[in-house]
Structure 1
Amino acid sequence: MREAYEGTTSDQKLIETILGVSAKSQFCYGDGSMESMDEVSCNSIVKVPENKNFGRPIRAWGSVDLESLKLEEENIARVVPGRILALRFFPTNDMKMIVVGNKFGNVGFWNVDSNMEDGNGIYLYRPHSGPVSGIVIQPFSLSKMFTCCYDGIIRLMDVEKEAFDLVYSSDYAIFSLSQRQNDIKSLYFGEGQGGLSIWDERTGKSSNSWNLHEDRINTVDFNSENNNIMATSSTDGSVCIWDLRNIAANRPKFLKMVSHKRAVHSAYFSPSGSCLATTSIDDKVGLLSGPNYEDISMIYHYNQTGRWISSFRGIWGWDDSYIFIGNMKRGVDVVSVAQRKNVTTLESPHMSAIPCRFDAHPYKVGMLAGATSGGQVYVWTSC
């Protein structure tokens, strides 16, 4: 980590914070003894469901009052230079830490509650030589984080070792990165022109690969209720749902395919796994629902961001009610699943740029982060 650090102040505080929270997480959940967790948030009880495979909390589940979401000036920071492509909250209830990756190969950390630290809680590294396209944080070992890049590299940031270790190298660009909740030893990533590969941490090698699309895979996501069900979005204009148990090496067959008229930049399952939201540059947000995702709605949303702004990717909040997506007027549009339309827009005079990429805090209902092409991060809260 030292070799990649580009900050002007010491990063020792960041290392100590992550190691402390990681140790606490392993103490609480490492033996799988905790069945569930209740959190008091904004005067409501938020239930955190149990991971069926580990007996540990996955993420919070709860409804949010859209009118309560506010953007305070202290919840804005420029975390990295240039365009942000990837954004993640650390999956813990013990700190509000955001990590982002940009087009220059930087990975930046922002400890939102540590404005009194040197550097306002912001720490900048450059472990990659090209655009950072994906971030995966180990949910039960917070001191480990994977990042991937267009340069064909996957690195493991191991805070205990204070290093960004090279774990995978390819001649092809890596465009997306994901992990199944019941298989934390494997990484799934979109590689080259439509390929999907699996890297096994136990062997340190790629264990499987398939050609699933005719063009790059922009996102890979797994159903929370059945981790064998996977969704991929592609620049070839399609979204496909797959069953990992039934993908043949030479002739992969999807369970479901939905076509957009232009490139699809994201496809994410809802928190319950019963819906799938897609975002395409054809100015549509797709919504798939029903037992076999047979009910398909295409909702108009202007998605023409141009070449200087990261493409929009609609994400789910903390239940299956709403999809959050940026707009070109420096706001956050909220699409209602029930009404199949945009029902409101989150706006603030503090918004000086267009939010493109988002993440909902997995344990704090009502905490939404949006990132811009200028390196800024905005954090909306409901309290």
Structure 2
Amino acid sequence: MSESGSGSGLASEEKANSRQRLQVKVNDCKENQNITYVSLIPVQTAVLGKAPKVYLAPFSLSNCKLDQLKGAKALLENNSVLCKRYKKTEIKKTCRVLIPKMNVTSCKEESTLQKSSFDVHIEHNKPQHKSTSDMVILSGDMESSQDGDSDEETTPGSDDFPGLSPYERKRLRNISENANFFASLQLSESAARLREMIKKRQPPELKRKKPKKRENEIGCRRSMRLLKVDPSGVSLPATSTQPTLIADETVRKSPLLPPGPLEMTPENQDYNNELFKGFLQTWAGLSKTSSKNTEKRLSGIKSYKTNLNSMVITEDTVHKVTKGSISSMAVHPSETRTLVAAGAKSGQVGLWDLTQQPKEDGIYVFQPHSQPVSCLYFSRANPAHLLSLSYDGTLRCGDFSKGIFEEVYRNESSSCSSFDFLAEDASTLIVGHWDGNVALIDRRTPGTSYEKLTSSSLIKLRTVHVHPVHRQYFITAGLRDVHVYDARHLKPKGSQPLISLTEHTKSIASAYFSPLTGNRVVTTCADCNLRIFDSSCLSSQMPLLTTIRHNTITGRWLTRFQAVWDPKQEDCVIVGSMAYPRRVEIFHETGKRVHSFLGGECLVSVCSINAMHPTRYILAGGNSSGKIHVFMNKESC
């Protein structure tokens, strides 16, 4: 009994020590920051990979031997060392200690452990640090399985786990059978096939059907005025106020003025005014300007630049003359008075006598046309005559000595674009039409003028200009080509040109011979280029001499640029500019810029149409609001 008593006392002491160590171990695990949770409930886990497993065999404190207690003590010490190692690492881990259920065998402190299985499961939170050593199961027998594919690990039997209860063994067996059953169903493969079938059987896109229009459907209410119906239901007659497109410009058709001469009645002045009567008497007394004086005034390029630098603009030489945009301009060749004429888009013709002060008293506006005035010239034979051509198909001569506008030419079926004098005495004229036809007019016939209408090879005809020396030749600017014709060989249909210039890539605005010899031709094209050709020999092709880069894109609301020659200088052309500050530029035939007319606050708009005095240094430019800007030398001012 003493031995048994001493043995039972030793067992009770060992039991108490074991419980104390276990309690310390659990407290250490709870204090660790990296441990997620600690569970004291026994949880049975099955490891399906190649991992070392250690099982604790059940033992009883009443029947245990000293050697078994020493083995358990060694296992607990090893387990505590393992936990300390994991506490030192910075990687977060999960520690789960599973303590088996303990059955109390007596009312006293004696108890017997029916099942004892310590399972310490440490998992790393980072997946890259996982290894087979992260899962450790402690058992009384240190067994490690090298073959993880054996059936004993996945489906344990009753002999494999003698320490488990029948319920635990049945539970593991059911889990294994269920896993095998679901694997045999091949659910993942079936799901993949279903996904492919769903992708292939996508429903077609539904197209919205348009509702059919009903024949008797009542629409929205519209104005009877827009329907051209009077209140009684009777349709109104068609009006002639619809816009028509003529030469890239929108012009509203207006009723033509009656044929025959029109009385010269100013719209801004009283007809019986003494100033207007004096204005007519001034025009009647104007003398002719001979070409000999023009030849004497020709100068070199240096003196020409000096005279251009002396030209200035002031507030007294800027004024609004016409109501609409200016489309044509002319400067009277008088040596004593400064007279400027402007043709407007509204069909008006404005005259401005700059020698009259105040300047409002020297401005007279007339209405000889119903549509834009495209071309304007003073007669070379009689400076008191001003000829104007309009889109309405009429050519009129304003005779200021008589105070009337005579009708020189009329063609209501076709719009006119440009004209020029065939004869030096202005007895014969050539008129170009927008549809490409050309009319030769002889004013010497009694009564009505004689007309000879021919057809050119152009689809559209914008400008016509006669050679200054060989007056039987004239040049035309069309849609894309420039042609030179001989007036003596024109045919009623299909007249062929002598020379054709095909270097242009876009529409052409104008083409003019040089003023004295006609040895040069300048063209203005919408491709932002001014081209100068050699026309000294009209029997052969006209070679291209110079291409001057210049912005000619004026847009819809500005009149198109037309580069013209300075009548005093054979080799210089004048053209408007889109550059800032606003200006009018002069270029030499070599392409060099000779001079730029800057007006400061007096010139703040684009002068599209410009004209130079034939003998004096006077330049007049018109803009798209009806305003005239005049540059003059200081002596003329």
Give the TM-score range, shorter chain.
0.7 to 0.9
Q: Distance between the aligned counterparts of 2:483 and 2:471, measured in 1?
A: 15
Stretch of structure 1 that moved more, 15-24 or 99-108:
15-24
Provide, for residues 95-132 of structure 1, a one-character-per-residue CA deviation record: whole Å limited to 9, x for no partner.
21011110111100000111236x23100111111111
Query: C-alpha displacement at 1:250, in angstroms?
Result: 3.2
Deviation above 6 Å: which 4+ runs of structure 1?
none
Q: Distance between the aligned counterparts of 1:175 and 1:18, measured in 2?
A: 29
> Where in structure 2 are the equivalents of 1:179-194 lying within 5 Å?
179-194=421-436
Native 8 Å contact 2:620 2:628 kept in 1: yes
Q: Distance between the aligned counterparts of 1:72 and 1:345, measured in 2?
A: 16
Q: Does residue 164 of the first structure (1) align with residue 405 of the second (2)?
A: yes
Change in 2 beyond 3 A, CA 1:99/1:3? closer
Change in 2 beyond 3 A, CA 1:107/1:21? closer
Query: C-alpha displacement at 1:199, in angstroms?
Result: 1.7
The amino acid of 1:75's aligned partner reads T
The one of 293, 297, 316 aligned to 2:565: 316
Whose radius of gyration is greater, 1 or 2?
2
Aligned to 2:292: 36
Q: Does residue 217 of the first structure (1) align with residue 477 of the second (2)?
A: no
The one of 483, 495, 498 aligned to 1:252: 495
Q: Distance between the aligned counterparts of 2:291 and 2:598, measured in 1?
A: 38
> Where in structure 2 are the equivalents of 1:116-195 lying within 5 Å?
116=358, 119-170=360-411, 171-195=413-437
Structure 2 gap ranges (5+): 1-261
The amino acid of 1:233's aligned partner reads A
**CA root-mean-square deviation:** 2.3
Q: Distance between the aligned counterparts of 1:35 and 1:312, measured in 2?
A: 28
Query: C-alpha displacement at 1:167, in angstroms?
Result: 2.9
Q: Does residue 239 of the first structure (1) align with residue 482 of the second (2)?
A: yes
Q: Does residue 300 of the first structure (1) align with residue 549 of the second (2)?
A: yes
Native 8 Å contact 2:457 2:495 kept in 1: no
Change in 2 beyond 3 A, CA 1:13/1:61? farther
Q: Does residue 283 of the first structure (1) align with residue 536 of the second (2)?
A: no
Query: C-alpha displacement at 1:331, in angstroms?
Result: 1.1
Change in 2 beyond 3 A, CA 1:301/1:86? same
Change in 2 beyond 3 A, CA 1:296/1:242? farther
The one of 549, 561, 576 aligned to 1:326: 576
Q: Distance between the aligned counterparts of 2:384 and 2:323, measured in 1?
A: 24
Q: Does residue 61 of the first structure (1) align with residue 298 of the second (2)?
A: yes
Aligned to 1:55: none
Aligned to 2:508: 264
Q: Distance between the aligned counterparts of 1:133 and 1:14, measured in 2?
A: 26
Q: Distance between the aligned counterparts of 1:12 and 1:217, measured in 2?
A: 43
Matched positions, count? 354
Query: C-alpha displacement at 1:286, in angstroms?
Result: 1.0
Change in 2 beyond 3 A, CA 1:36/1:183? closer
Native 8 Å contact 2:375 2:388 kept in 1: yes
Change in 2 beyond 3 A, CA 1:231/1:368? same
Query: C-alpha displacement at 1:3, in angstroms?
Result: 6.2
The amino acid of 2:543's aligned partner reads E
The amino acid of 1:155's aligned partner reads R
The one of 600, 609, 615 aligned to 1:363: 615
Q: Distance between the aligned counterparts of 1:213 and 1:355, measured in 2?
A: 32
Native 8 Å contact 1:15 1:159 kept in 2: no
Native 8 Å contact 1:327 1:333 kept in 2: yes
Query: C-alpha displacement at 1:345, in angstroms?
Result: 2.5
Aligned to 2:629: 378
Q: Does residue 345 of the first structure (1) align with residue 596 of the second (2)?
A: yes
More strand by share: 1
The one of 305, 309, 313 aligned to 1:71: 313
The amino acid of 1:299's aligned partner reads I
Q: Does residue 7 of the first structure (1) align with residue 289 of the second (2)?
A: no
Task: Classify the secondary structure of the residue corresponding to 2:352.
Answer: strand
Native 8 Å contact 2:457 2:494 kept in 1: no
Q: Distance between the aligned counterparts of 2:265 and 2:483, measured in 1?
A: 37
Stretch of structure 1 that moved more, 164-173 or 369-378:
164-173
Native 8 Å contact 1:240 1:255 kept in 2: yes
Q: Distance between the aligned counterparts of 2:428 and 2:316, measured in 1?
A: 37
Q: Distance between the aligned counterparts of 1:147 and 1:136, measured in 2?
A: 7
Q: Distance between the aligned counterparts of 2:358 and 2:608, measured in 1?
A: 28
Stretch of structure 1 that moved more, 279-288 or 151-160:
151-160
Stretch of structure 1 that moved more, 62-71 or 236-245:
62-71
Give percent identity, aligned residues only: 23
Larger relative contact order, structure 1 or 2 (CA cutoff 8 Å, min sep 6): 1
Provide, for residues 106-162 of structure 1, a one-character-per-residue CA deviation record: whole Å limited to 9, x for no partner.
100000111236x23100111111111111221231222221111111222122332
Aligned to 1:40: none
Task: Classify the secondary structure of the residue corresponding to 1:196.
Answer: strand
Native 8 Å contact 1:89 1:359 kept in 2: yes
Stretch of structure 1 that moved more, 179-188 or 315-324:
179-188
Q: Distance between the aligned counterparts of 1:189 and 1:130, measured in 2?
A: 17
Change in 2 beyond 3 A, CA 1:19/1:212? farther
